[in-house]
Structure 1
């Protein structure tokens, strides 16, 4: 428990210290009008309070991500907690802050436009396709997961639950953001926080203890000896760094009344998600006597079985209710915002205003047809592609943020270093994974590092000091 509390303390210190540094580097302008105030349309551009935006942002980026990912990451041992802490502070929260703030500076634009503004039209067109694919994968993953669980609980066919969830998604995607998402999601966000804190209190007063790892803090304890590099950094995405967040931040960027709220909403929500991820990673490490026992439960019923075991054991019948909330409602609340983000990206690309319900349906209906067709594929394959696409999106967004800072003549290394790290992760994984080139790690790692070196050198040449300063001098603010 002391190790967990120390990790939480580091995360909170990261918000107040490093988050403030990131804010000063970006330099928000409180007097500057935001898209929510200048472009209000009653549908997507709607001013909401900071507290409500924070809770919606937390739920949008969280879902099952900071629960299932850290449970799977716990198989590697306490080292997973180090990635959650330092990944959140130096990569994930930085990524989320810049994806939100650059969206505000681009009139609430979606991630392809933000990337295109900084990296050029080729990157923009690539991201238009890539982001929509990612969001459809997210939406499908968060349809199939809860649908299967509901089918097992209520003995109703999975296809029926898929249809019901899709029907809700269509409704949540096309109605004004303050009608469903703005009203219900702050409540669900608060429940997510209370559920996680309640479980830690239950753990503290129970006879379960963080099993003693001694000096094995950074040792790989995976029962199957799967390599830490790069798999841990793909397995734990939400809770450390996740490209999906770059697709969600613009939703709240269109609802923020003041740029100064950015650190609280974007950086702060990621730190909040990091704490939730730490809680579930700690539960995975504490509830079972070793990683082998944790793996046995996962093999039997997946991470959902761990959630159920932990919740019902520590909190009784009420814990079972919270488990249902965690594995059914939470993924649905991320799935619908995934489809909503996809609609907005497609609308931006086609230059279709979304104030009219008919125009929203023109995009939503074909999009959901494609989403349904994807559900027919094997779930395991969909999940693996989602994991890689998710971290690749984060890598691209971090490079875009680094380019923005370089062009402004600001200290770009706060984004360049995590961008380079995620480049190494994603390309090494693509080279090694069976969904990629299936190369041995002895080849995949040098290739990944080589591509990273090329990308970093190309970036530094393109955005070298004098060019960046000149760009900053002539660019209007």
Structure 2
């Protein structure tokens, strides 16, 4: 139990201490942001900082810090370390970096930012990669809550159409279309702060319920407690994506970058939202570790519960930690969380495609041309095996995060700033992503004897390539417009 509180304290302190370091490295100033300079009333709209924080939290949270944290808890309480350190040193840095760079480049999406700093080939890869990821995310975050709603109604004695998950899936997709299409401040700006409060209250309720109902959170131990002996590296580091670092956040941060009144809001809006998500993930990982019994030192109880369905596991934990009205409140948070990430996933996909083909998004008809095909594709993907889509989504998350961190590293280098802030987590995530690709069942499924050294070699190679590029690229003073009008200081 002490381990849990230590990790919680580190997360909170990390926001103030390491978050301040990140802010100092990037150096936000008083220049006009895209929300002020461009303001089109659709995607570029100034909103208050507190509202941006709550919307960003909902955008990035989804099912990740809940399902992912529970999945990660199967390996034992070592997951606490990944959630805590990953959030502070990688996830928060990642989200701040993309949000800040987007503000410096007229609200550009992550794929366009990648092209600016890693070249046109990487831009094309990221355009395709991010759209595919966003459609998968939107689909996962529609199927998941649809199952949760039908389960909740069924548990309360409901029957018929209201307990049919397909019915709720259709309704959610219809809502996605509306939220993706209309100006960002009409639905997202008005409803999301309310859902954000529900999400925070839900996490607090589960956390308090662990203690008031007599459960004990185990202390951190580094041994592998997974019933199937699935290796911690890299499987746990991919399973717990949104609760530590997630490339999906790189697609969401530009949405809020287009709504920030000042660059100085970046610390709270981007880094702060990620730390809050890390806290939510820590609570759910603790709940999964505390509520279910271990058999022979392994997490058999949690694994068996997850096997019966992620929705069933969440409902069971809410019941055991709160009961009564708390169940409804908690389930509301768990349902709102993914839905409010799913719609912004499709919204981000629309903006990536719009940036790609230079399609003005102010006219209603042009938005309609992009929204309808995206939602139709999402509807088709929703018919695929949910667990398979989730696994590919998890790996795609970490791969996109890796690319975004390398993009930020080159940005920092070219602006004469401390690029190791992002280059170190970029190297680490390169090892995670490549190793997982080589050994995961849904990928190459090779032996860890092959995957481990290949992942390590690839990470070193990426770092070497980055250092090689810095030798060729110009360094700037970072004082002028970041879009390419710097005064070159020297060539490294």
**TM-score, normalised by the number of residues in structure 1:** 0.96
Between the aligned partners of 2:105 and 2:183, the Cα distance in structure 1 is: 21
Q: What secondary structure, in the 3-state scheme, does the structure 2 residue paired with 1:186 have? A: helix
Structure 1 segments (4+ residues) deviating >4 Å: 470-475
Q: How does 1:5-20 map to 2 (within 5 A)?
A: 5-20=5-20
- Residues 36-67 of structure 1 deviation map (CA, whole Å, 9 limit, x = unaligned): 00011111111000000000000110121111
Between the aligned partners of 2:318 and 2:148, the Cα distance in structure 1 is: 16
Between the aligned partners of 1:378 and 1:470, the Cα distance in structure 2 is: 49
Between the aligned partners of 2:3 and 2:58, the Cα distance in structure 1 is: 26
Between the aligned partners of 1:92 and 1:371, the Cα distance in structure 2 is: 27
- Among 458, 469, 473, the alignment partner of 2:475 is 469
Q: 1:473 to 1:98 in 2, by over 3 A?
A: closer
Counterpart residue number, 2:300: 292
Between the aligned partners of 2:387 and 2:4, the Cα distance in structure 1 is: 31
The answer as to whether partners of 2:144 and 2:311 remain within 8 angstroms in 1 is no
Instruction: Between 200-209 and 126-135, report the one with greater CA deviation.
Output: 200-209
Q: CA deviation at 1:126?
A: 0.9
Confirm or deny that 1:268 pairs with 2:267: no
- Residues 364-405 of structure 1 deviation map (CA, whole Å, 9 limit, x = unaligned): 011111111212222122111111111110000000000111
Q: What secondary structure, in the 3-state scheme, does the structure 2 residue paired with 1:190 have? A: helix
The answer as to whether partners of 1:409 and 1:468 remain within 8 angstroms in 2 is no
Counterpart residue number, 2:282: 278
Q: How does 1:62-461 map to 2 (within 5 A)?
A: 62-152=61-151, 153=154, 154-156=159-161, 157-211=164-218, 217-290=221-294, 291-300=299-308, 302-461=309-468
Between the aligned partners of 2:455 and 2:209, the Cα distance in structure 1 is: 43
Q: CA deviation at 1:326?
A: 3.4
The answer as to whether partners of 1:244 and 1:393 remain within 8 angstroms in 2 is yes
- Residues 8-36 of structure 1 deviation map (CA, whole Å, 9 limit, x = unaligned): 1101111111111111111111x200000
The answer as to whether partners of 1:173 and 1:336 remain within 8 angstroms in 2 is yes
What are structure 2's unaligned runs of at least 5 residues?
A: 487-492
The answer as to whether partners of 1:142 and 1:334 remain within 8 angstroms in 2 is yes
Counterpart residue number, 2:35: 36
**Number of residue pairs aligned between Structure 1 and Structure 2:** 471
Counterpart residue number, 2:490: none
Between the aligned partners of 2:132 and 2:114, the Cα distance in structure 1 is: 16
The answer as to whether partners of 2:147 and 2:311 remain within 8 angstroms in 1 is no
The answer as to whether partners of 1:33 and 1:258 remain within 8 angstroms in 2 is yes
Q: 1:435 to 1:320 in 2, by over 3 A?
A: same
Between the aligned partners of 2:210 and 2:149, the Cα distance in structure 1 is: 27
Q: What secondary structure, in the 3-state scheme, does the structure 2 residue paired with 1:91 have? A: helix
**TM-score, normalised by the number of residues in structure 2:** 0.93
Instruction: Between 379-388 and 225-234, report the one with greater CA deviation.
Output: 379-388
What are structure 1's unaligned runs of at least 5 residues?
A: none
Between the aligned partners of 1:195 and 1:307, the Cα distance in structure 2 is: 12
Q: CA deviation at 1:467?
A: 4.2
Q: What secondary structure, in the 3-state scheme, does the structure 2 residue paired with 1:24 have? A: helix
- Residues 405-456 of structure 1 deviation map (CA, whole Å, 9 limit, x = unaligned): 1111211111001101111111111111122211101001111111111111
Q: 1:199 to 1:470 in 2, by over 3 A?
A: closer
The answer as to whether partners of 1:72 and 1:303 remain within 8 angstroms in 2 is no
Q: CA deviation at 1:289?
A: 2.5
The answer as to whether partners of 1:408 and 1:468 remain within 8 angstroms in 2 is no
Counterpart residue number, 2:26: 26
The answer as to whether partners of 2:33 and 2:260 remain within 8 angstroms in 1 is yes
The answer as to whether partners of 2:205 and 2:330 remain within 8 angstroms in 1 is no
Between the aligned partners of 2:41 and 2:245, the Cα distance in structure 1 is: 31
Between the aligned partners of 2:169 and 2:200, the Cα distance in structure 1 is: 27
Q: 1:393 to 1:19 in 2, by over 3 A?
A: same
The answer as to whether partners of 2:427 and 2:459 remain within 8 angstroms in 1 is yes
Between the aligned partners of 1:159 and 1:102, the Cα distance in structure 2 is: 40
- Residues 278-335 of structure 1 deviation map (CA, whole Å, 9 limit, x = unaligned): 11111111112222211121122x2322321221222221122124313422211110
Q: 1:220 to 1:346 in 2, by over 3 A?
A: same
Between the aligned partners of 1:444 and 1:63, the Cα distance in structure 2 is: 30
Between the aligned partners of 1:282 and 1:100, the Cα distance in structure 2 is: 30
Which protein is richer in helix relative to its size?
A: 1
Q: What is the RMSD of the two structures over their aligned residues, measured on CA atoms?
A: 1.6
Between the aligned partners of 2:306 and 2:165, the Cα distance in structure 1 is: 21
Between the aligned partners of 1:368 and 1:179, the Cα distance in structure 2 is: 20
